[in-house]
Amino acid sequence: MTTDALVLDAAAQDLLFREARTANTFTDEPVTEEQVQAIYDLVKYGPTAFNQQPLRVVLVRSTEGRERLVQHLADGNKAKTAAAPLVAILAADNEFHEELPSQFPHFPQAKDVFFAERSVREHSAALNGALQAAYFIIGVRAAGLAAGPMTGYDAEGINKEFFGDGEHSVLAVVNIGKPGDDAWFPRSPRLEYDQVVTTV
């Protein structure tokens, strides 16, 4: 269904949403550094509270890195992650407040006024990091690639393996590439507008 209410052209609507799918298989075509940089340079403009930008990304390219990651994944996620052209570990930096004086310059005191407590930072980083993860997935689609996001893993295991500092919390692992053979399950339904939206 297309509508005049959206200004984005119909092809872009399809690319980003209607025809975009969660891929479970991929071709061998590599995902380049240039593509990942273009994705980040687009989605970095997605909004976060206090412009806090807690998202951190680890690109897993080496065989050794792939093995270190796959051991922490749920069994059903192992094979497709081992075979994907690129895997990104998306994590929230719970010490994001250190960057606030430079990233929120019109109110640099936010670092201490709002984010002195770790528990507050963790809560905020989880929400805003998840938003940025969503922007990232849409950015992958904007590059003509498919994403396969996953949260079926041992989060503590990944945190220790890739972020030994205790300051990061994994948000999602995302397989990235061109979709391969038989790449997705049948499209599942979506809740309709009236099931989701109320007006007061």
Q: Which chain residues interact with ligand FMN by CB under 6 A?
A: 21-22, 76-77, 149-152, 172, 184, 187-188
Q: Indicate the burial class of 75 (C-beta count within 10 angstroms; 0-12, 13-18, 19 or more).
A: exposed
One-letter amino acid for residue 194 of the chain: D
Cβ distance 52 to 103 under 8 Å? Answer: yes
- In whole angstroms, how close is the CB of 20 to ligand FMN at the nearest point? 7
- In whole angstroms, how close is the CB of 117 to ligand FMN at the nearest point? 27
Q: Which is nearer to ligand FMN, 36 or 172 (CB)?
A: 172
The residue at minimum Cβ distance from ligand FMN is 152
The DSSP secondary-structure symbol of 98 reads: G
Q: SS3 for 15-26, per residue?
A: HHHHCCCECCCE
Q: Which is nearer to ligand FMN, 87 or 110 (CB)?
A: 87
3-class DSSP state for residue 55?
strand
Q: Which is nearer to ligand FMN, 52 or 77 (CB)?
A: 77
- In whole angstroms, how close is the CB of 65 to ligand FMN at the nearest point? 19
- In whole angstroms, how close is the CB of 162 to ligand FMN at the nearest point? 17
Q: Which is nearer to ligand FMN, 53 or 175 (CB)?
A: 175
- E-strand ranges in the chain read 55-60, 86-93, 146-150, 168-177
Q: Provide the pairing of β-strand 146-150 with 55-60.
A: unpaired
Q: What six digits make up the tokens of 159?
A: 């945190």
3-class DSSP state for residue 64?
helix
Q: Which is nearer to ligand FMN, 110 or 145 (CB)?
A: 145
- In whole angstroms, how close is the CB of 112 to ligand FMN at the nearest point? 32
